[in-house]
């Protein structure tokens, strides 16, 4: 019996991308800079001391960072007992869809469309289409923004006017924030679903529904009902390969949305990463033979990377390391687990956007040894080889 668990720690990059300068990210290194800040006593909020990740470092995390970038990794010096390496992306993006599609064996073959102007961000014709679909006289925002501050700033005006809050970032994305009760959650989903084909035709990667609740007196907070309307994969992915061979694909977090439901049998969501961790541990106990469990844990990125919260990012990594230990202790014979990431989001870098980086590849259940440098698509080919599934695309298995 063989099973595979592909666990994406959203934005947990390890530096060293050879084309980082093309993206304005020279020197970015999410993991190394967090480790260095912790060792220097610069990440003492809610935690203390050097970065402590004994489980992931035991698999080869520190070694993978050093391989990827040559950076110092204080606190992460274990001799690896797993299979480890660092993966380099070829798709021309540093975003969620590009990273996940390529990890699933399908590099993105096109250039994404972005909205480079910060204010106003969107062309008039697109704004008119949003207003027509929303039934409003205008939109709020129309700018580059981080999600939490823009909701706090424009929430009162949104409640007064009923206009949706629309914003973007350096990624190929169109985000719509709206109050769950006042605007309506289903109305927000319907608006995004109707707008998505228009933006996908423009090669914009995602339309994201960002519901929130609260009021001007108590403040506003995003809820756990986010939904991504992503462009469909351009070719069959690892998920489709597993399905075609008779296996089941179980998606945890936003994976089902990222792949537009293509190749997904079950979706397991939660209000936060803690709830998603519980799904992962349960599925390690219950996932059927020949299955792929594909997880994304987003809060490293959304709560700590974009807000540039080094201490918070370190806390989240240390918390997950405990979960990783619990996961490894529950594995069954024939299980393969891959811990990796989809891009970087260095909390010490300027700005609030993702950073172009290599990502660690840590594998449990298939022996030990250095993978070396590999491609994102090699992750899919290796999982397919473990499951005995025919692989497609450019990836090559790094399993012996």
Q: Is 306 annotated as a binding residue?
A: yes
Residues 268 and 279: beta-carbon distance below 8 Å: yes
Per residue in 289-307, pLDDT tens?
A: 999 999 999 999 999 999 9
Measured in Å, how far apart are the chain's first and last C-alpha atoms? Answer: 18
Ramachandran angles phi, psi of 399, nearest 5°: -80, 150
Q: Residue 289: which residues within 8 A CB-CB, separation 6 or more?
A: 1, 2, 3, 334
Q: What is the mean pLDDT of residues 117-137?
A: 95
CA separation for the pair 279, 268 (Å, rounded): 7
Per-residue pLDDT tens digits for 338-359 = 999 999 999 999 988 899 999 9
Structural domains for the chain: 3-109+234-387 (3.40.720.10), 124-230 (3.30.70.1250)
Annotate 375-387 with b (16+ C-beta within 10 A) or e (fewer). bbbbbbbbbbbbb
Give start and end residues of each alpha helix (H) in the chain.
30-39, 54-59, 61-69, 96-103, 124-134, 147-161, 185-201, 238-244, 255-258, 273-286, 299, 310-329, 376-387
Q: Residue 333 has what pLDDT? A: 97
Q: Is the pLDDT of residue 47 over 90?
A: yes
- Looking at residue 78, its pLDDT comes to 97
pLDDT number for residue 170:
81
- Tokens standing for 119? 């204010």
Read off the DSSP letter of residue 20.
Answer: G
Residue 78 CA neighbour count, 13 Å, CB half? 18
Q: CA-CA distance, 82 to 74, in Å (whole number)?
A: 20
DSSP code string of 293-344: EEEEE-HIIIIIITTT-HHHHHHHHHHHHHHHHHHHHT--TTEEEEEE-SSB
**Tens-place pLDDT, residues 177-186:** 999 999 999 9
**Is 22 annotated as contributing to ligand binding?**
no
326 band by pLDDT with thresholds 50, 70 and 90:
very high
**Residue 343, annotated ligand binder?**
yes
Using 50, 70 and 90 to split pLDDT, how confident is the model at 171? confident
- Three-state secondary-structure class, residue 3: strand
**pLDDT tier, 117 (very low <50, low <70, confident <90, very high otherwise):** confident
Residue 179 among known ligand-binding residues? no
**pLDDT of 374 higher than 90:** yes
DSSP string for 84-103: EEEEE--SS--SHHHHHHHH
Q: What is the pLDDT of residue 62?
A: 98
Largest CA distance in the chain: 62
């Amino acid at each position: 019996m063989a099973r595979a668990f592909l666990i994406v720690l959203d934005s947990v990059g390890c530096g060293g991308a050879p084309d980082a300068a093309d993206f304005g990210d020279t020197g970015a290194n999410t993991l190394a800079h967090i480790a260095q800040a912790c060792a220097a006593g610069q990440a003492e909020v809610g935690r203390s001391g050097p970065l402590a990740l004994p489980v992931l470092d035991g698999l080869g995390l520190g070694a993978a960072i050093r391989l990827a970038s040559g950076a110092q990794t204080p606190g992460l010096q274990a001799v690896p007992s797993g299979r480890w390496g660092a993966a380099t992306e070829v798709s021309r993006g540093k975003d969620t869809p590009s990273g996940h599609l390529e990890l699933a064996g399908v590099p993105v073959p096109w250039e994404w469309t972005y909205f480079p102007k910060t204010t106003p961000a969107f062309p008039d014709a697109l704004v008119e289409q949003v207003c027509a679909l929303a039934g409003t006289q205008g939109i709020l925002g129309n700018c580059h923004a981080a999600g939490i501050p823009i909701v706090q700033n424009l929430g009162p005006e949104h409640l007064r006017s009923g206009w949706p809050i629309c914003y973007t970032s350096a990624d190929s994305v169109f985000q719509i924030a709206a109050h769950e009760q006042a605007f309506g959650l289903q109305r927000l989903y319907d608006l995004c679903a109707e707008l998505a084909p228009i933006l996908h035709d423009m090669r914009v990667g995602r339309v994201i529904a960002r519901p929130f609740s609260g009021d001007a007196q108590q403040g506003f907070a995003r809820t756990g009902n986010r939904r991504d309307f992503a462009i469909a994969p351009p070719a069959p992915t690892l998920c489709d390969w597993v399905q075609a061979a008779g296996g089941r694909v179980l998606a945890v977090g936003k994976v089902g949305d990222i792949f537009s439901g293509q190749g997904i049998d079950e979706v397991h969501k939660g209000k936060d990463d803690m709830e998603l961790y519980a799904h992962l541990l349960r599925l390690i106990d219950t996932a059927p033979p020949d299955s792929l469990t594909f997880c994304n844990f987003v809060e490293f990125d959304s709560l700590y990377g974009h807000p540039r919260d080094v201490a918070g990012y370190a806390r989240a990594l240390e918390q997950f390391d405990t979960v990783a230990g619990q996961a490894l202790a529950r594995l069954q014979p024939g299980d393969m687990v891959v811990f990796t990431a989809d891009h970087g989001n260095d909390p010490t870098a300027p700005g609030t956007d993702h950073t172009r980086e290599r990502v660690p590849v840590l594998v449990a259940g298939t022996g030990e040894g250095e993978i070396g440098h590999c491609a994102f698509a090699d992750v899919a080919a290796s999982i397919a080889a473990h499951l005995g599934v025919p692989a497609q695309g450019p990836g090559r298995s790094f399993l012996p």
